[in-house]
Structure 1
Amino acid sequence: MLQAFKSALAAVVAWVVADQVLRAPMAFIAPWVAVVLVRSTVYRSLAQAIQQMGAIALGTVVATACGMALGVPALAMAVVLPLVLLVGNWPRLGDQGVYGATAALFVLTAGEPDLDAAVARVLESLLGAAVGVGVNMLVFPPVHLRDAEATVRQVVEEAGRTLRAIADGLEDSWDRHQARNWQQQARRLFRLIDQARAALEHGTESARWNPDRRRRDHLRRIREPYRHVVSVLEQLTDYVADLARTFAEVADDDFAPPRPGSDTLASYARFLREIAAAVDAYGQAVTGDDPAAARACLDRRVHGVRLAHDRLRQALLDTDGGDAEWVALNGALLTDARRLADQLLPEPPQPHGPQEPAR
């Protein structure tokens, strides 16, 4: 809503300046440019303003030259538009290349092309770009942190939910269909990880060229801790995916080794619940309101994971010879789980620091 009102404000300011103050001949161009340059970050507004101005200048100059040379608007369109549209696909123009064709159409359909009109169009576009970028930079410059926090929380919650679902299934009689559902949940975790990484990059971008120094410094301070969080959660997701795939294979009727005994499965279920509890505590240490208390809880939970890991390892070692292949198959998963538990503890992320409001 704030960005929508800022876009409207930019358009109004650009129109008043162009029409009422400067008496520009084509004042409508200024608000047309300004309204689309109030972007989600200041950096994006600046970058796209440069790209858009390049495209508009190109379209205006080429259309003016061809229009003056050919004298027939339809023929000039047939020559100019293919050229401008092709150049508009240049990667350096990003998604702003289409404005070159739009500017060319304005020139060729608004009357007889001439040099003075071309200069006026480019200057009015510059005015609109300056107003759009200025409004976005000076009026509540956008800072994006909540999306990153929300997606990290979502990954944590989904990971804990998946681990508990697997634990519940192991204590009951699970089948191949249920194991496939666990795999689908793991794939959803990968998508959430991608969203978290994209949200973090978007938040980082919002700090670039942002005049609000306090918020900019806050975002830069939390950038690396949050990247560490996403990295740890990605490893957790790999572990959950491997675990779900393993149990899907075990549930397959053609799988050679027998299922583990109920005691082994009960130990595995307890181990997964301890991991889920540790992940919950890790999420609170990252995004909660009291990271110090959450860190103390995380220490206890990680200790519980290690104890559960030791009990599970002993349970696997105590299985009879028929379960030897099962032990070998899960050895790598147990190692990964221990590594994950160790990584949650040594350098606890502290992204909060002094509390800063985020927009």
Structure 2
Amino acid sequence: MQLAAKAGLAAGLAFLIAPLMPGAAAQYPYYAPLGALVAMYENVAGSMRQGLQTLVGLAAGIGLAFLLISFGATPLTVGVVMALGVLLAGLPRLGAGRDWIPTAALLVLLVGGHNPDDFSFGYLLQMGVGVAVGIVVNMVVFPPLHFNAAALSLAELRLALARQLSDMGEAMHEKWPPEHQEWSRRSEELAGSARAVRAAVEKADASREANPRRRFHPRDVNLDYRNVRDLERVTFHIQDMTEVLTDVIWSKDMPFTIPLPYSEPLAEALTAVSEVLRSAEEDDAGRQAELLSAARAAVDALEVRITSEDVDADAPGAAESIMLSLHRILRVARTDGR
């Protein structure tokens, strides 16, 4: 809604200013609101980049048209202009400007008629005016900062990962195969959530570029990137544990099992590590340290149980894999920059 309102405001202002342009440019005021729309983007830096790329594409298309304009508008020249325009659109770094090369060339060739110089001048100038108005409006009128969305997505992923661990811990208490199987189907969902979190942080990072509001709303985006990388690692380990436990429970050809003596310490370790992830959203550093210490103790107890002599040393491959993943998650939690 905000972007739509700003686009409307920018288009109206551009059309108001357009008749004031010098010379023949005043005859083409309708291109100014088009330029304003082209430059309207979800963040200020994107508006600048998209507007500049559009003007570069327009200039390239106009230059291309002038190479063939002496031959007139014939089916052959139109075809050649379109073919060359599409080829030029393949150049790297043109971004949004690539689509305007053949468009501008065709307009100059067909609409410019007998006065292509005035049309080209008016077209490019009015689009430039519109782009400038669009950038200014986007910069001045509530330029968006997407910091809250990034913080929320990080918190949601942490809680989702914590829930996955706790659900697996509960499965260890149930009679196998467990009645609750939702956790076993969340692996791809967790991976998708991790990708969405990275996208949200990148969007927040882009929204602060050239944004005058950033000085009033400081945020350590580098810390957000570090947290994303940590959560991606945690997601990988939890996905691995999910697949291992799912195979052990439901796959008939799985060569490994989790012996009954491991069930209770494994459940306690999974639950304790889930509490560490969940506590990361709390402000109580003392509570976080307490839960981290308890999780380490639970994982260490699992390790002691696995290496004890009263169980078959050839059987616990699956439990060892899960224990190793828990150790790695705690290592990430210990170095978490929050």
Shift in alpha-carbon separation, 1:31–1:239, aligned structure 2, 3 A: same
2:7–2:134 CA contact under 8 A, matched in 1: yes
Within-5 A mapping of 1:1-359: 1-19=1-19, 24-67=26-69, 69-112=70-113, 113-175=115-177, 182-215=183-216, 218-219=218-219, 222-251=220-249, 252-261=251-260, 263-282=261-280, 284-285=281-282, 291=283, 293=284, 295-318=285-308, 320-322=310-312, 324-346=313-335, 348-349=337-338
1:317–1:327 CA contact under 8 A, matched in 2: no
2:270–2:326 CA contact under 8 A, matched in 1: no
TM-score normalized by structure 1? Answer: 0.85
1:114-168 Cα shifts (integer Å, max 9, x gaps): 2122122111111111111111112212211122122212211211221122112
**In 1, Cα distance between equivalents of 2:194 and 2:256:** 33
Greater shift in the superposed pair: 313-322 or 3-12: 313-322
1:90-112 Cα shifts (integer Å, max 9, x gaps): 22111331112222232233251
| Partner secondary structure for residue 314 of structure 2 | helix
RMSD, aligned α-carbons:
2.4
Identity of aligned residues (%): 25
1:162–1:186 CA contact under 8 A, matched in 2: no
**In 2, Cα distance between equivalents of 1:246 and 1:297:** 31
Shift in alpha-carbon separation, 1:258–1:336, aligned structure 2, 3 A: closer
2:32–2:130 CA contact under 8 A, matched in 1: yes
**1:328 Cα offset (Å):** 4.3
Shift in alpha-carbon separation, 1:258–1:32, aligned structure 2, 3 A: closer
| Partner secondary structure for residue 212 of structure 1 | helix
**1:321 Cα offset (Å):** 3.9
Greater shift in the superposed pair: 54-63 or 169-178: 169-178
**In 2, Cα distance between equivalents of 1:239 and 1:9:** 49
**In 2, Cα distance between equivalents of 1:73 and 1:13:** 38
AA aligned to 1:231 is: R
AA aligned to 2:163 is: R
**In 1, Cα distance between equivalents of 2:252 and 2:212:** 63
**In 2, Cα distance between equivalents of 1:245 and 1:206:** 37
**1:176 Cα offset (Å):** 9.7
1:155–1:193 CA contact under 8 A, matched in 2: yes
TM-score normalized by structure 2? Answer: 0.90
**1:301 Cα offset (Å):** 1.3
**In 2, Cα distance between equivalents of 1:118 and 1:348:** 55
1:212-235 Cα shifts (integer Å, max 9, x gaps): 34246x13xx21221222122122
AA aligned to 2:294 is: G
AA aligned to 2:314 is: E
1:283-336 Cα shifts (integer Å, max 9, x gaps): x14xxxxx2x2x2221121122012112222322336443x2343444354234
User: Please, which runs of 5 or more residues in structure 2 have no aligned partner?
Assistant: none
1:61–1:118 CA contact under 8 A, matched in 2: no
**In 1, Cα distance between equivalents of 2:301 and 2:48:** 58
1:30-53 Cα shifts (integer Å, max 9, x gaps): 110111211111111111112111
**1:177 Cα offset (Å):** 10
2:38–2:51 CA contact under 8 A, matched in 1: no
